[in-house]
Amino acid sequence: MTTLLEVSGVSVTFDGFRAINNLSIAIGEPELRAVIGPNGAGKTTFMDIVTGKTRPDEGRVIWGAQSVDLLKLSESDIAKIGIGRKFQKPTVFEEQSVRDNLAMALKNRRGPLSVLMWHATERDAARILELAAEIGLSDRLAHRAGDLSHGQKQWLEIGMLLAQDPRLLLVDEPAAGMTPAERAHTTDLLKRAARTRAVMVIEHDMEFIRRLECRVTVLHEGSVLAEGSLDHVTKNQQVIDVYLGR
């Protein structure tokens, strides 16, 4: 396992509020990692920084063996380099079909002219079918994405993430609003994806994280409070104080 993403000494302040405070965190490839923390711990801001949505005041974000400085890249370039993101609230393109949503996410050239000339190849079509089967939406391909249930939208978004074929998946609360059966399915999907890539999952739900059986990073007030196995961090007195003490 080699280090894929290395965030070091990152801080960001919004209107005097320090959302991220000298945060350092790294993830290898392949690896499955869960990030937990109370509300306002900076979990989503952390993802915003890695994906280029928010620029930190200080610190470094380094990517891959070539040590690319992610802070110099735009959101779309970061996505192209191999970082995919699933948002907390499922954001799929509701007016378009499930197939079109997946086709847009497929790893292909992204420039306006190549997209204009694009025609689905057999490989693309097969990949879409494969993804649809994986996320349980095979019979929904022609449906409007807006007509899907909440859980199905979550899956479609995970499917779009997989279609991008990223090296790092940042997944924000994938199980929110899912039934227990859907949660189990989602856990399997993420574990399978993490065999070949880095997957970072933000979750609140301890049960869900337990099933991921992975290393856990606890964030608190914008920096890392504890890191290790779930059992290890839940025995940590500071973590207990943060989660239960208030």
Partner 1 sequence: MEMSRRTAAPVKRRHLLQDNPSVLWFMGLLGLFTLGVTVLSEGFGIGLISTNLVKILGMTLCLCLIAIAMDVVWGYCGILSLGHFAFFGLGGYAIGMWLMYARTEIVIRESLAGSTIPPTEREVSEAVASQIFSVVGSNELPLIWSFAGSLPFQLAMVVLVPGLLALVFGWLAFRSRVTGVYLSILTQAMTLALSLYLFQNDTGLRGNNGLSGLQNIPGALHVPQSVISVWFFWASAFALGAGYLLFAWVVSGKFGSVIRAIRDNEARVRFLGYNVEGYKLFVFTLTAVISGIAGALYYPQAGIINPAEIAPIASIYLAVWVAIGGRGRLYGAVIGAALVSLLSSWLTGGGAPNIDLGFYRIIWTDWWLVMLGLGFVLVTLFFPKGIGGLFDYLVRKQ
Q: Does 160 bind partner 1 (CB under 8 A)?
A: yes
CB of 118 to partner 1, least distance (A): 5
Mapping DSSP to helix (H, G, I), strand (E, B) and coil, where does residue 226 land? strand
By CB under 8 A, name the one of 27, 103, 156, 193 that touches partner 1.
103
Q: Does 51 bind partner 1 (CB under 8 A)?
A: yes
Q: Does 18 bind partner 1 (CB under 8 A)?
A: no
Question: Is the alpha carbon torsion for 43, 44, 47, 49 positive or negative?
Answer: negative
Distance CA 154, CA 43 (A): 19
Q: In this complex, which beta carbon is closest to partner 1, that of residue 42 or of residue 52?
A: 52
Q: Does 224 bind partner 1 (CB under 8 A)?
A: no
Radius of gyration of the chain (CA): 18
Q: In this complex, which beta carbon is closest to partner 1, that of residue 1 or of residue 116?
A: 116
Q: How many residues bind partner 1 (CB under 8 A)?
A: 36
Distance CA 81, CA 64 (A): 10
Distance CA 230, CA 66 (A): 32
Q: Which residues, including other chains, have CB under 8 Å from residue 234's CB and lie 6 or more apart?
A: 206, 240
CB of 142 to partner 1, least distance (A): 13
What residues make contact with partner 1 under the rule CB under 8 A? Answer: 51, 53, 74-77, 79-80, 84-85, 87, 91, 93-96, 100, 103-105, 108, 110-112, 115-116, 118-125, 160, 164
